[in-house]
A and B are shown apart, each in its own frame.
Chain A
C-alpha cells in the first residue's frame, strides 16, 4: 500500500518479500548464534535494504513506463524470489522461534479464549507501526514529500522533491513493514513457502479499504478478517480462504474504489 500510495505501482511480490525477510532471519540466527535480538534486528534492517536495492536496481528503470509494465515486473520479481528462496533454503519448514531460543506460550484471555504470545506481540507491533507511519506521513518532512509525490509527481518534482529518493524510501519502508510482518508470522506459525499466500490475502484488505489509504487499510483488514472468522465459525473452515476474495468482489461491485479510496485512484489501477 505504501508503494501504491506513492508510485501507483501495485507490488505483487509483497508476499515473497515478506517471506524473504523471514528466511534472512533463519540465516542470521545461525550466524549470530546466541544473540537472538541481533539476528532479529539484522533481518529487519536487511529487509529495509532489500527494498532500497530493489528500487535502485530494478524498479527505477520502470520510471516513466506504463504502470501495468511495472506491475508485471513485480510479478516476475515474485517468481524469481520464490525460486531463489527454495534453492537457498529448500522447501522444508523452519521454526525460527526455536532457533532463537524463545517459546510461544499461549496466553489465556478469559472466556475460554487464548492467544499466542507472538500473536499478541504482532497485534502490539501492528498498532505501534500504524501510529509511527501515521506520524511519519503527517508530521515528518519525508512523509509530507511522499504524500506530495503520490498526489502529483510532476508538481512535486518541479518543487524540488527528489522523485527517485522518495520512491526508493517507499520501497524500503514497504519491504521493512512487510518483512516485519513476515518475521512475526514465521515466529508464530513457522516458515515455509506457503507464506506468500498471506501476502496475497493482504490485497483484498487493501482494496476493500481503498488503495492508498492508511485508514482504509485498517478498516479493510477488520472487515476481511471478521468475514473470514464468521465464515469459519458459522459456515465451514474450508471457505475461509475464499471469503476475503468474495468480500473483495462485493466491494468492487458496489464501490470499486474501496471504502476510503477515491474514484480517480481506482481508474489508474
Chain B
C-alpha cells in the first residue's frame, strides 16, 4: 500500500500540469478560460501567449533561458481558478501568474497570489480596479483593452461629433454590473450634449433571442445604439435590429472577434471602437502574428492581438529581471515598464508604481467599406489620458 501511494505521488508529480517546472527556465502559470463560456476571447488570448513564447524559445529564450508556460483551464469558474492559483503559488519555480478569463475568477486568484507574493497579469478580461491609478496594487497588472467608462465616453463623443443636431441614443448592455454600469455612465455622460436617451435595454447572459431588446430599441426611435457588452449581446441585438428593418447606426466595443464579424456582416452602419489595431491595417506586426500562428491555433489569427500584447509585455518585463529570477524581482520589473507594441495599439503600455493600467488610452473606429469591400479605419487614433 505504501509503495502504491509513493508511486501515485511520483506519477502525479510527473504528469500534473503546473506542478513540475524546470528550475533553469523562466516559469509563469496561465489560468484561462480555454473551454468555458468565454473561451473565444480568453482561449484565443491563451493561445496567443503560448504561440508567442514558443517562438521566443525557438529563438533561444530570454537571456539564454527558455520560458515555460504552465497552462490550466479554469472555464471561467471561480473554484477552478482558485485551484489553479493554489497550484501555481505552491510551485516555487514560478514567478508570475497570467489570468485570462472572466472577472468572476479574479477574487480567488488574487487572494492566493497575494498570499505568496506572486505578481498577476490580467489579459483579455476586464481590468480589476486595483490596477488603476493613483493607488495601483504592487502585485496586480493589466494589459486588457477594456475600460468601461473611458470607452463609452469616447463613443458618446464620437457620435456627437458625427451627428448634426439632436439625436436619440439607445443603450444596450448585458445584465452584469460592469456592462450595465458602463451604459448608465454613458447616459450620464450624454447629458447636456443634445442627446436624448431612448431607452436602456439589458439582456441576461444566457439570452438566446435578442429580438425583444431590438424591438424595444427600435420602437423607442433610436437613431444610434451604443453597446458595451460581451460581443454576443452586441452583435445579436444589432442583427435583430436589422431584421426588423431598423436603419440607424450601431456603435459598439470591438472585441477580438470584431474584425471577422465586420467582414461577415458587411454593414456600413455597424461601427466598432477599439483600443487594438485590426489586422486590416496590414502592419508588419500583423503579418508576423499571422505567420507565427499558422496551424497552431483553432482561432482565426485576428483573435490573437490581446494575448500577443500581454506576451510582449511579459517578455519585456522578464528581460529586465536579472537571473536568477524571483517573484519580487518580476513584480519590481513590472512596476516600472514601458513597452512599445509595434502598432498593435495607438501607443505604448507604460506602468509606474502608481499605475498598472496605462497612462494613455488610444481609440480607433473601424467599419465596413462597401466600396472597397473591406474593413476600414473610420476614425484614426484618438488619445484619452487615463488620469
Given A91-B39, A190-B236, A240:B212 Cβ within 8 A: yes
Q: Mark A185-221, 1 if CB is under 8 A from B, else 0.
A: 1000110111101100100000000000000000000
Stretch among B21-29, B77-85, B196-204 lining the A interface: B196-204
Encoded as 1 (CB less than 8 Å from any A CB) or 0, chain B from 223 to 262 comes to: 0000000011001100100111100000000000100000
Please pick, from A86, A197, A238, the residue contacting B208 in the complex, using a CB distance under 8 A: A197
Chain A hits for B212, CB < 8 A: 229, 232-233, 237, 240
Count residues of chain B with CB under 8 A from any CB of chain A: 35
- Cβ–Cβ < 8 Å partners of A106 in chain B: 242-245
* CB of B74, distance to nearest CB on chain A (Å): 13
Q: Please state if A90 and B299 are interface contacts (CB–CB under 8 Å).
A: yes
Are A192 and B232 touching (Cβ within 8 A)? Answer: yes
> Within 8 Å CB of B206, what residues of A?
194, 197, 241
Chain A, interface size category, equals: 20 to 34
Q: Does B3 sit at the interface, judged by CB under 8 A?
A: no
Quick one: CB contact mask for B41-53 with A, threshold 8 Å, 1 for yes? 0010000000000
Tell me which of A87, A98, A114, A238 has the highest count of chain B C-beta atoms within 10 A of its own C-beta.
A238
For residue A122, CB closer than 8 A to chain B, the reply is no
A109 to chain B, nearest CB (A): 11
Q: Nearest Cβ distance between residue B96 and chain A, in whole angstroms? A: 26
How far is it, in angstroms, between the C-alpha of A193 and the C-alpha of B205 when the chains are bound?
12
Give the residues in chain B near A192, CB-CB below 8 Å: 40, 232
* Nearest chain B CB to A99 CB, angstrom units: 10
The verdict on A140 contacting chain B, using a C-beta distance below 8 Å, is no
Q: Inside 8 A of B244's CB, which chain A residues have their CB?
A: 106, 114
B20, CB-defined interface residue at 8 Å: no
Produce 1/0 per residue, A85-115, CB < 8 A to B: 0110011110100100000101010000010
B188 interface hit (Cβ, 8 Å) = no
In the complex, identify which listed stretch (B30-38, B138-146, B163-171) lies at the interface while the others stay far away. B30-38
Contact of A195 among B36, B208, B239 (CB under 8 A): B208
Q: Does A262 contact B (CB under 8 A)?
A: no
User: In the complex, what distance in Å separates the CA atom of A83 from the CA atom of B36?
Assistant: 9
**Contact, CB under 8 Å: B35 / A92:** no
Q: Which of A90, A197, A198, A201 contacts B43 (CB 8 A)?
A: A90
Whole-angstrom CA separation of A193 from B33 in the bound complex: 14
Set B201, B242, B299: member contacting A237, Cβ < 8 A: B201
Known A-B contacts A116-B243, A197-B206, A197-B208; A189 and B38 likewise in contact (beta carbons under 8 Å): no
In the assembled complex, which residues on chain A have CB atoms less than 8 Å from the CB atom of B35? 83, 86-87, 91
A237 touches B232 (CB 8 A): no
Residues of A within 8 A of B232 (CB): 93, 192, 194
The residue that A189 contacts in the complex, of B175, B204, B213, B236, with Cβ under 8 A, is B236
* Residues on A with beta carbons closer than 8 Å to the beta carbon of B43: 90-91
Contact B207 A90 (CB under 8 A): no
Taken together as a complex, chains A and B put the C-alpha atoms of A240 and B175 apart, in Å, by 13
Give the shortest distance, in Å, between B208 (CB) and chain A (any CB): 5
Contact B38 A237 (CB under 8 A): no
Q: How far is the CB of A256 from chain B (nearest CB, A)?
A: 27
CB-based contact B257/A92 at 8 Å: yes
- A98 vs B263: C-alpha distance when bound (angstroms): 11
CB atoms of A92 and B299 under 8 A apart: yes
A190: B residues at CB distance < 8 A: 236
Measured between C-beta atoms, what is the minimum distance from B236 to chain A in Å? 6
Chain B residues, Cβ within 8 Å of A195: 208
How distant is the Cα of A263 from the Cα of B112 in the complex, in angstroms? Answer: 54
Distance to closest chain A CB from B172 (angstroms): 11
**B2 contacts partner chain A, Cβ-Cβ < 8 Å:** no
**Chain B proximity of A194: nearest CB distance (Å):** 5
B213 cross-chain contacts in A, Cβ below 8 A: 237
Q: State whether B39 touches A90 (Cβ < 8 A).
A: yes
Given A106-B243, A114-B243, A189-B208, A237-B39 contact (CB < 8 Å): no
Interface centre among B36, B202, B244, B299 (most CB of A within 10 A): B244
* B298 interface residue (CB < 8 Å to A): yes
Residue among B38, B40, B209 facing the most chain A CB atoms (10 A cut-off): B209
Q: How far is it, in angstroms, between the C-alpha of A184 and the C-alpha of B331 when the chains are bound?
A: 51
B110 to chain A minimum Cβ distance, whole angstroms, is 24
Select A241's contact among B201, B204, B245, B298, beta carbons within 8 Å.
B204
CB neighbours (8 Å) of B36 from chain A are 86, 91
Q: Is the CB of A237 within 8 A of B236?
A: no
A194 and B257 contact, CB distance less than 8 A = no
Q: Is A92 touching B242 in the complex (CB atoms < 8 A)?
A: no
With A87-B35, A98-B264, A114-B243: A194-B201 Cβ-Cβ less than 8 Å: no
Q: How far is the CA of A241 from the CA of B204 in the complex (A)?
A: 8
Q: Which residue of B lies closest to A200 (CB)?
A: B206
Q: In the bound complex, what is the Cα–Cα distance between A195 and B208 (angstroms)?
A: 7
**Closest CB in chain A relative to B151 CB, distance in Å:** 22
Of all chain B residues, the one with the shortest Cβ separation from A108 is B245
> CB-CB contacts of A239-268 with B at 8 A, as 1s and 0s?
011000000000000000000000000000
Tell me the bound Cα distance from A90 to B303 in angstroms: 13
Instruction: List the interface of chain B (C-beta within 8 A of A).
Output: 35-40, 43, 175, 201-204, 206-210, 212-213, 215-216, 231-232, 235-236, 239, 242-245, 257, 264, 298-299, 303
Top 8 A-B pairs, shortest CB-CB distance: A91-B39, A92-B40, A232-B212, A86-B35, A237-B212, A197-B206, A106-B243, A91-B40
